[in-house]
Amino acid sequence: MSFTSINPANETLIQEIDAWDDERTQHALDHAARTASVWAAETQDTRAGRLRDAAGVLRDRRDKLARLMTTEMGKLISEARAEIDKCALTCDFYAQHAAGFLADEPIDTDAGKSYVAYQPLGVVLAIMPWNFPFWQVFRFAAPALAAGNVCLLKHASNVSLCALAIEDVFQDAGFPDGAFTTLLVDTDRIGGIIEDPRVRAVTLTGSEPAGRSVAGIAGAHLKKTVLELGGSDAFVVLDDADLELTVENAVKSRFQNAGQSCIAAKRFIVTPGIAEDFLEHFREAVLALEPGDPLEESTSLAPMARGDLRDGLHEQVRDALERGATAVTGCAPIDGRGFFYCASILDGVKPDMRAFTEELFGPVATVIRAQNEQDALNIANESPFGLGGSVWTRDADRGERLARRLECGAAFVNGLVKSDPRLPFGGVKHSGYGRELSRHGIREFVNAKSVWIH
């Protein structure tokens, strides 16, 4: 088998890379396991220094890596540059704070001395998606490496060049050989790698079925997992919302990365007093989005990453239309080369439609009419997903009260949901478990060891 990279904007072949055989895979696992003991013994200052160097490499190669990301995955070049910047920022964040997050924690007991020590687990396998091909990896790798673990990456097959470029970043930043390794292996071999005793823990960002499979295999072998799965984030617009601010962020949250983001706003739940005004202004803003070459600065709507993803999205849209939803704008693929889909709004989405219960992973916004604030909250929490959500109102206290009642891992008031290295990131319900980022993320893959001394 080979891994094929295709430019989503024009469907041209970029490169094919042969998958590894078993011998090469076993060598990588052996090498990672040997490196784990060496890296774990390094001082926190040494690890921090390597992370700062990685941040420097990312900034030096910013334009080159952004162009690679746009060409291989399809995102707007401005968004790709911002993604590289965020990766560098996160490396710097853990270089600065890891020592404090992992410092021994004194505990007053009957001992002469007792404390909790946070120690690395060893080899951690990361199974990562294509939609943020650099950020998803660095969000895991920076804290894992700072904690003294080593990383194996199984990236999505359509972004293999990005995966190899990430490995180069860590190598050129001075990390020991084997501290970060990209595995070019078929998906059907992942189960065996998870089972391998050299692998101590697994993290996955991906679909719900993939999460169930990985968690099942890891659980059978008593290995720690962190899962960040799908999301269908609620964007709750109350009658007193600032219309200009709300619409601006509605467009940004739904259509950045061509809508291919787990934490994108997907369900726009609006109360009666603002529904018509919101929809009118939202429609005008969405119509202004311009599809085109994502390498051009003037383009504001990127292609979807693959043709099959676009086809699947359109099936969900057709289901909604056939069951009575209204196409406010778009709701169709764009003819021509490239995997483009119109920036779209579906109004009148109801519980019997796939668009109500399923995640729409593309540039389609679903508008759901609520009777009042309590009904909006009920609709927001009706979803099986619980990754993020936002509330829009001029009354910050009202927004905070509602945000606290949203069943999700991150709730924002008058701001779009985003990840931040200073805050924990993750979901509840079918959106997964465990946390990335902040001090919570770095402690997911460590042994919290109690030490008691007479």
Instruction: State the catalytic residues.
Output: 228, 262
31 by Cβ neighbours in 10 Å (0-12 / 13-18 / 19+) ranks as: middle
Query: Token pair 């979807």 is at which residue?
Result: 304
Give the whole-angstrom CA distance, residue 56 versus residue 173.
Answer: 8
Q: Characterise 272 by phi-psi region: left (phi > 0), alpha (psi -120 to 50), beta (else).
A: alpha
What own/partner pairs with CB < 8 Å and gap ≥ 24 does 300-303 have?
Answer: 300/76, 301/255, 301/258, 301/340, 301/343, 301/363, 302/8, 302/9, 302/74, 302/75, 302/76, 302/79, 302/257, 302/258, 303/8, 303/9, 303/74, 303/258, 303/338, 303/339, 303/340, 303/341
Three-state SS at 310: helix
Give the whole-angstrom CA distance, residue 357 versus residue 229: 15
Among candidates 141, 149, 170, 6, which has minimal Cα distance to 72? 6
Cβ proximity of 367 and 214 under 8 Å = no
DSSP string, 213-256: HHHHHHHHTT-EEEEE----EEEEE-TT--HHHHHHHHHHHHHG
**Residue 265 in tokens:** 């706003």
Contact in structure between 364 and 347 (CB atoms under 8 Å)? no
Residue 92 one-letter amino acid: D
Q: How far apart are CA 433 and CA 331, in angstroms?
A: 33
DSSP state of 178: T
Between CA 422 and CA 375 the distance in angstroms is: 33
Read off φ and ψ for residue 329, nearest 5 degrees.
-160, 150
Of 395, 379, 317, 358, which is closest to residue 231 (Cα–Cα)?
358
